[in-house]
Amino acid sequence: MNFFERQAGARRQSRRLVVLFAIAVLATVAAVDLVLMLAFGGLGRGASGGSTLGALFASTLVTLAVIGCASLYRTASLRTGGSAVANQLGAVLVPEDTTDFNLRRLRNVVEEIAIASGVPVPQVYVLEQEQAINAFAAGYAPADAAITVTRGALDKLNRDELQGVIAHEFSHVLNGDMRLNIRLVGLLFGILVLAIIGRKILENARFSRGRNNGALFGVAFGLVVVGYVGLFFGRLIKAGLSRTREHLADASAVQFTRQTRGISGALKKLAGLPEGSRLATADAEEYSHMFFGEGLKLSRMMATHPPLLERIQLLEPAFKPDALTELSARWSMHPPVGLDEDAALGLAPAGEAGTQRPPASATAGLPAERSSVAITPPSVVAQVATPRADDYRQAGAIHQAIPDVLQRAARHQSDVVPMLLGLLHAPPGQVRDAQQYELRARTDHVVAEQALDYADRLADLHPALRLPLASLAFPTLRRRPRPELNQFMDLVFAMVHADGEIDLFEYCLGRLLRAQVTEALDPVSAWVPGRLRLHDATAPAVTLLTVLAQAGHDNPADAPRAFVAGLDRVFPRLSASYTPPNDMLGALDAVLPVLDGLEPMGKELLIEGLVVAVSHDGRVSVAESELLRTVCAALHVPLPPMLAESATA
């Protein structure tokens, strides 16, 4: 199952969720109507049937309004995305520039998996008071995602195990599970609020005396019963959906890291240590479906996760229950310490624990700037959101190869904006002069000078490092005040449109930065999985194929043939002429938002066509591959850093 199939599956689950909860809500409304009829003697005693029907209609509307408003309120309280969930659970943000040994290891693992996956680096939090081993990912989209781990996970897991847990959570980010998880929180709260109202009425009715006091008690008690019964069935729905997705996330973690010992080792520690994965926070139940392991003790029927032994045996079929007993006995005598295991297993990469990173000669692990690779549409589609072992190795090389001065700028509040603006600068010449003019007209000269200085520092940066550097900078950028982020978006727009001759990659990078900032400012509505059919977006798709064919071929005679080949891949029966747009930037501004709204399987076919268009000459340069990755990212299709394993200089 590839990324697009998983996205389509997540959409089917969302529809299933809506249907199941609609049934649950209707049943709850019917139960409330029945309670009112019983409490007040049929609501029509001594009155006409019309009065009874009117009263039932009114109670139905009121019940629906209460459930709907409560659900909307709870969802709105989480509209800032993953950070809102982390903060409500009491998590602490891990600073981007932390020098703490354990926290630096966590950030490095998260950053490398993000680079390998082709998504923005998420915010990272720690539940400092929780000694159990657990983690969760929350948010509406990758741009506002937050990864949270417990202190117990940091202390007890070695690097392989921590990587397995984080890869598991990244699968939820990539598969579209996070938005569904937040919807679950809101929907369940909407049903629960009926029980809360009933309980409040019971508490206050004790002190009142009146003719209808008995009926009022009956209604209140009925609301409590109906609310908790509805919540019970809602939790059953939540548990069923969550268990299915947890199996998929375990499998994805293995697929990501290409080894089972990491995630299976973490699961063994969950099962073998007395702390397990149970959290002390009172909010654990509400968010139980988000956690890596069960956040609290639940019955098998209500459990949001499959049994631990079942999860382990799916990863290691030969694993026996007796082995878990032996591990538990050993750990009771000598509790595991993750950092000690790292040292014994040689798992701590150079420079991870706050030591000096090696010089940028680590670019030896990157492809030569003038190299090219042979790619095929199926191989690229298979790589989307599915990093391979080579992608992780290259992510480590990329992480090490980014110069220290740029890494510090990406993590420092005062430097992140000038550094990103420097990344958008064209080479010296008229275009750069126009960009500087726009900067000086819209911001103070200090920022413009700093951006120009960073542009010079970035001139020799390997093309494969530009997108990862922007990804590293994003958590720092998104924590700036909203007015500054709005100003940053204006600056980026001005820079990429300073001259129509600007480099296409710089345009796409600028557009990608603006899109990510927009999503961070309003996560709940900024991006949702699309529903547009490919045949309804023919004209925009043709334009994008034209741009990729033109950008991927230096010889003007090759571009039309590449366009026709890409078009045939996407629209086999369509005949269209190769007509490069006069205003390429304007054309992309018009088509990328439309194509971002395609349904998953339509995006898959479009990506195949783009691969054909950009690689029709048989090879793809590093710059062309970065352009393809940037366009894919603008379409919310995360592409890992390596497009093929074999490259020729």
pLDDT, one tens digit per residue, over 273-315 is 998 899 988 888 888 888 998 887 766 667 788 888 888 888 8
Q: What is the pLDDT of residues 473-523, one digit of tens each?
A: 988 998 888 899 889 999 998 888 887 665 777 788 888 888 888 887 777
The answer to whether residue 175 scores a pLDDT higher than 80 is no
pLDDT of residue 353: 47
pLDDT of residue 46: 47
- Of the candidate ranges 37-46, 245-254, 392-401, the one whose mean pLDDT is the lowest: 37-46
pLDDT of residue 270: 92
Cα separations (Å) of 127 from 94, 135, 155?
A: 10, 9, 12
Mean pLDDT across 532-550: 93
- Please give the Cα distance from 133 to 484 (Å, whole number): 38
To which residue do tokens 């995602």 refer? 145
pLDDT class of 646 with cuts at 50, 70, 90: very low
**Which range has highest mean pLDDT (181-190, 215-224, 434-443)?**
434-443
pLDDT of residue 364: 53
The answer to whether residue 211 scores a pLDDT higher than 60 is no
pLDDT of residue 330: 92
Q: Return the higher-pLDDT residue of 226 and 2.
A: 226
In the sheet that holds 372-373, the strands lie side by side as 620-621, 372-373, 647-648
pLDDT of residue 77: 85
Architecture of domain 83-172+254-337: 2-Layer Sandwich (3.30)
The answer to whether residue 355 scores a pLDDT higher than 50 is no
**What residues act catalytically?**
169
In the sheet that holds 92-93, the strands lie side by side as 92-93, 123-127, 146-150, 135-138
Mean pLDDT across 540-544: 95
Helix (H) or strand (E) holding 26: helix 3-39
| CA 492, 493, 498, 501 torsion-angle sign | positive
The answer to whether residue 582 scores a pLDDT higher than 50 is yes
Residue whose C-alpha is closest to residue 589's, from 533, 505, 511, 522: 511
- Please give the Cα distance from 67 to 70 (Å, whole number): 5
- Please give the Cα distance from 18 to 8 (Å, whole number): 15
pLDDT class of 533 with cuts at 50, 70, 90: very high
The answer to whether residue 222 scores a pLDDT higher than 60 is yes
pLDDT class of 256 with cuts at 50, 70, 90: low
To which residue do tokens 């206050």 refer? 204
Mean pLDDT across 221-226: 78
Residue whose C-alpha is closest to residue 155's, from 13, 339, 405, 417: 339
The answer to whether residue 45 scores a pLDDT higher than 70 is no
The answer to whether residue 649 scores a pLDDT higher than 50 is no
To which residue do tokens 């940028």 refer? 360
Dihedral pair phi/psi, residue 294, rounded to 5°: -55, 125
- Please give the Cα distance from 101 to 85 (Å, whole number): 26
- Please give the Cα distance from 164 to 258 (Å, whole number): 10
Mean pLDDT across 242-251: 74
DSSP string for residues in 396-427 = HHHHHHS-HHHHHHHT-TTTHHHHHHHHTPPS
Mean pLDDT across 388-396: 72
Q: Considering only CA atoms, give the Rg of the chain.
A: 27
Cα separations (Å) of 69 from 21, 495, 570?
A: 15, 43, 44
To which residue do tokens 């980026």 refer? 492
Percent of the chain's residues with pLDDT above 70: 86
pLDDT of residue 589: 86
The answer to whether residue 579 scores a pLDDT higher than 70 is yes
Q: What is the pLDDT of residues 48-67, one digit of tens each?
A: 555 667 777 887 888 888 88
Quote the mean pLDDT of the chain. 82
Cα separations (Å) of 384 from 22, 147, 256, 406, 639?
A: 34, 21, 11, 27, 5
pLDDT of residue 439: 93
- Please give the Cα distance from 104 to 110 (Å, whole number): 10
- Please give the Cα distance from 334 to 357 (Å, whole number): 33
The answer to whether residue 389 scores a pLDDT higher than 80 is no
pLDDT of residue 14: 66
Residue whose C-alpha is closest to residue 345's, from 108, 167, 163, 166: 163
Percent of the chain's residues with pLDDT above 90: 24
pLDDT of residue 295: 80
- Annotate 9-36 with b (16+ C-beta within 10 A) or e (fewer): bbbebbeebeebbeebbeebbebbbebb
- Annotate 311-325 with b (16+ C-beta within 10 A) or e (fewer): bbbbbbeebeeeebe
Q: Return the higher-pLDDT residue of 22 and 446.
A: 446
Mean pLDDT across 158-178: 86
Q: What is the pLDDT of residues 554-571, one digit of tens each?
A: 788 889 999 999 999 999
- Assign 3-state DSSP to the chain and report helix, strand, coil percentages, each to 5: 65, 5, 30
pLDDT class of 229 with cuts at 50, 70, 90: confident
Residue whose C-alpha is closest to residue 269's, from 114, 422, 158: 158
pTM of the model: 0.82
- Of the candidate ranges 216-230, 338-352, 359-373, 549-563, the one whose mean pLDDT is the lowest: 359-373
pLDDT of residue 215: 67
Mean pLDDT across 580-608: 89
Cα separations (Å) of 455 from 422, 449, 466?
A: 4, 10, 12
pLDDT class of 647 with cuts at 50, 70, 90: very low
The CATH 3.30.2010.10 portion of the chain extends over: 83-172+254-337
Q: What is the pLDDT of residues 100-120, one digit of tens each?
A: 889 999 999 999 888 888 888
pLDDT of residue 371: 66
Q: What is the pLDDT of residues 413-447, one digit of tens each?
A: 899 999 999 999 988 988 899 999 999 999 988 99
To which residue do tokens 């397990």 refer? 276
CB 224 within 8 A of CB 203: no
CB 626 within 8 A of CB 375: no
The answer to whether residue 151 scores a pLDDT higher than 90 is yes
Cross-strand partners of 135: 149
